[in-house]
Amino acid sequence: MTPSATGTGVSGEGFQPPARVVMIGAGQLARMTYQAAVDYGVALHVLATSADDPAVTAGAALSLGAYDRVGDLVAAAGHGDVLTFDHELVPPAHLRTLEDMGHVLQPNASALAFAQDKLHARRLLGGVGRLPVPMPAFAPAGTADDIAAFAVTHGWPVVAKARGGGYDGRGVHVLAGPDDARRLLPGSPGTAEPEWVVEEHLDISAELAILVARRPSGQFVSYPPVGTRQEDGMCRELVMPADVPAEVAGEATRLAESIVAGIDATGICAIELFWVADGRLLLNELALRPHNSGHATIEACVTSQFHQHLRAVLDWPLGPTTLVRPAAATVNLVGGAQGVDYAVRLPGALGVPGAHVHLYAKASRPGRKVGHVTALGASTEEALDTARTAAAILTEP
């Protein structure tokens, strides 16, 4: 059996799937999208780097290949009518090539650029949509001197971010002074275009994520705002709805919707916002794909973000985003120094009433997201308490 024939997806004998979707990447987001594809009878084909990738072990049909090799992308693209993504790492030139060949990318290459390059997003979003997008003060940075020059105006500490390729806080550095800047960027600039963005360090009251789903024909829906809590730049816990005043939630939603429409994004989009101590609501970054902040939607909302993503990229009617209980919480399962024996741990976690456990079938490694637990409740506290109890059983030494 050749790799591309492995996994039959959902197409049984004689069954004509209502649509064929290709997803580039086969991590946990593709795994959960595949679960939704099964519900709809949609044939989901993934471009995987390994037969051990989470979407592949779940049963998705696959091509084996690299997301940065155009030939592999083209081969995978042939397995579907619509191409979508579980990460933002495909080189922009390859995205253009696929579009030039006539493949339908949802979201399209121009929209994806806003999620791929933090400097591009910061530079261009000021002028997008009905309202200019409020953002932290920022500057391009190629050298430690660029960072120090920015700090003259904005003060230390500052936050330096790699323009692309970062996730879970990798690529984000808080710099206390010029020595930190020199340690990060010891050399002189080797390239014409700076590879870093430097930003003012914000006093953040709350981090929000607004999930918006948008169809190519323009219809869009938003989910209740999610509140996220990070440790070392990595998201650990999420609550839905976020604990912010109604005016802030409303403004955040309007801002997110205007960004998504302004850049012509399609599919599910996550707009990460900072609510800062001085009252400003500022754009952090955006992801144009299913997102960690939306995992609670699987149990908490009438339509999960994964079902919604498929509906949106296929230009099918979007589903209601309403919460089915007053509150939901998700706790990410992050690998520690020791591996975890899930055969021993999982039954214990499932013994916590109301805990919904999701394991991504990824080996536990320090700092790696290997699953999540969601719980619903009459209050955020109740939901968090349940999810934390089950998560502790699964991860604590």
Residues near Mg ion (CB under 5 A)? 272
- Give the residue with the Cβ less far from Mg ion, 22 or 209: 209
Give the Cα separation of 48 and 60 in Å (integer): 10
Of 200 and 272, the one with the shorter C-beta distance to Mg ion is 272
Restricted to residues 123-142, the positions that interact with ligand ATP (CB under 6 A) are 136
Cα separations (Å) of 394 from 294, 331, 347, 350, 366? 21, 11, 9, 10, 14
Q: Which is nearer to ligand ATP, 75 or 162 (CB)?
A: 162
What are residue 301's phi and psi, to 5 degrees?
Answer: -120, 160
189: contact with ligand ATP by CB under 6 A: no
Is 169 among the residues that bind ligand ATP (CB under 6 A)?
yes
User: Which amino acid makes up residue 189?
Assistant: P
Which residues fall within 8 angstroms of residue 366, CB to CB, at 6 or more apart?
335, 336, 337
Query: Which contacts qualify for 122-126: CB closer than 8 Å, 24 or more apart?
Result: 122/197, 125/259, 125/262, 125/263, 125/283
Contact status: 89 vs ligand ATP (CB under 6 A): no
- Per-residue binding string, ligand ATP, 248-287, x by CB under 6 A, is ------------------------x-----------xx--
Q: Which does 201 bind (CB under 5 to 8 A by kind): Mg ion, ligand ATP, none?
A: ligand ATP
Site for ligand ATP contains 233 (CB under 6 A): yes
Nearer to ligand ATP, 203 or 341 (CB): 203
For the CB of residue 3, give the shortest distance to ligand ATP in the complex, in Å.
29
Q: Which two tokens stand for residue 389?
A: 């109890």
What mask, x for binding ligand ATP by CB under 6 A, covers residues 205 to 224?
--x-----------------
CA distance 187 to 143: 7
Asked if 168 interacts with ligand ATP (CB under 6 A), we say yes
Considering the complex, what minimum distance in angstroms separates the CB of residue 190 from Mg ion? Answer: 27
Of the candidates 154, 157, 159, the residue with the CA atom closest to the CA atom of residue 141: 159
Token pair, residue 178, equals: 């010029």
Select from 72, 86, 88, 199 the one that contacts ligand ATP (CB under 6 A). Answer: 199
CA distance 248 to 239: 16
**Please, which residue, 34 or 150, has the CB nearer to ligand ATP?**
150
Least distance in angstroms from the C-beta of 284 to Mg ion: 6
Q: Which two tokens stand for residue 191?
A: 């390239």
Kindly tell me the burial class for residue 385, based on how many C-beta atoms sit within 10 Å of its own C-beta (0-12, 13-18, 19 or more): middle
Of 92-100, 202-210, 334-342, 360-368, the segment contacting ligand ATP by CB under 6 A is 202-210
User: In the complex, what is the shortest distance from the CB of residue 158 to ligand ATP, in angstroms, rounded to a whole number?
Assistant: 8
Task: Determine the Cα–Cα distance for residues 250 and 391; give it in Å rounded to an integer.
Answer: 31
195 binds ligand ATP (CB under 6 A): no
User: Please, which residue, 287 or 312, has the CB nearer to ligand ATP?
Assistant: 287
CB of 284 or CB of 308, closer to ligand ATP: 284
Least Cα distance to 241 among 285, 277, 206, 202 occurs for: 206
Closest CB to ligand ATP: residue number: 202
Instruction: Using alpha carbons, select from 112, 60, 63 the residue that is nearest to residue 84.
Output: 112
Residues in touch with ligand ATP (CB under 6 A): 136, 159, 161, 166-172, 199, 201-202, 204, 207, 230, 233, 235, 272, 284-285
